[in-house]
Amino acid sequence: MKRKTVKRFIIILAAGMLVTSSTGCGTKVSATDAEVPIQEETVIVAQEDADTESDDQTIMETETVGEAENERVYVEHEYFFAVEKDSIDWTASTEKIDMDALIPGGSSLELHNSLDVYTPEGIMVGYTKPNVALDIFNYNDDWYCFEFANDNDFHYLLIKQEDVKNDTGVETKLITQEDVISYLEEYFSNAENGYELLDAPEPDMDFVELSISQTDWDYLDNLTESTIGGDDDRLLRAYAKFYIEGMESKYNDRDIWVRVYYKDLKTRK
């Protein structure tokens, strides 16, 4: 109603200006001439509602187009939809991912629904197609990274671990040093097997150093059966007292290192 009131005001004002202008130019106004503005005014008023209705539709379409122009337009790629790379606002990053800190993957994920994808700069640029299987290139506790070698615009894209877990129930966690220490402490605190776990190392204890990849959960589950390792396995099983200590990584941040102190041979039965 507000738009119609405004339009009606403008139309009547325009009609009034037309009559005034004609009079001002010195045109003689006769009875016959006076009928012309009355007919024109009648025509204008009669058309006003129709014109207003049409104009309202035009305004709505314009507003819709305006909204569409503000929306992001996505381009289809093989496994995902993404905005054109030239249209990305690279200043909109909220969380840049440290790609060097990611751990090599090797497994794949089968996604059920479309999930948001991000650039290494942490900018959301699109979403995956539903029901796609993607090979994990590398990852950490927060992100999965995927390589699209044949894609000229997006070579690497990332998906949040939390989104994958909500979609598939799959969670890929990295092994921590605390995981390894807890595992070994539980194993060597088993008195029934003749072990005793100490609260601190004693001066006369020997030790071995063990390493395990942050991604190798199967290896951790069999650590005491295999690695304690290879040649050290029988050695450690032969002793009674132990202490487990975490170490700094020797070569990179992708392996967990611990030191296992031991002493006192078990009494043979």
Least Cα distance to 124 among 151, 163, 150 occurs for: 163
The vertex-232 CA angle with 229 and 235, nearest 5°, equals 135
pLDDT of residue 175: 86
Q: Read off the pLDDT of each residue in 8-32 and give the average, rounded to a whole number.
A: 36
Helix (H, G, I), strand (E, B) or coil at 158: strand
As a whole number of angstroms, the distance between CA 36 and CA 53 comes to: 26
Residue 200: partners with Cβ closer than 8 Å, 6 or more residues away: 243
CA dihedral 26, 30, 32, 37 (to 10 degrees): 50
As a whole number of angstroms, the distance between CA 28 and CA 34 comes to: 10
Task: Tell me the per-residue pLDDT of 81-121, one tens digit each, with 9 for 90 and over.
Answer: 999 998 998 888 878 899 988 888 778 899 999 999 999 99
The vertex-207 CA angle with 206 and 210, nearest 5°, equals 170
CA distances to 91, 205, 245, 262 from 197, rounded to whole Å, are 54, 13, 12, 9
Q: Average pLDDT, whole number, for the chain?
A: 74
Task: Tell me the per-residue pLDDT of 198-238, one tens digit each, with 9 for 90 and over.
Answer: 999 999 999 988 888 887 777 777 766 654 545 555 666 78
**What single-letter DSSP state applies at residue 135?**
E
Q: Which amino acid is at 72?
A: R
pLDDT at 50 over 70: no
CA distances to 94, 99, 160, 171, 244 from 140, rounded to whole Å, are 18, 10, 10, 11, 26
pLDDT of residue 269: 54
pLDDT of residue 224: 64
pLDDT at 245 over 50: yes
Least Cα distance to 153 among 135, 177, 126 occurs for: 126
Helix (H, G, I), strand (E, B) or coil at 109: strand
Identify which has the larger pLDDT, 10 or 245: 245
Q: Which amino acid is at 79?
A: Y
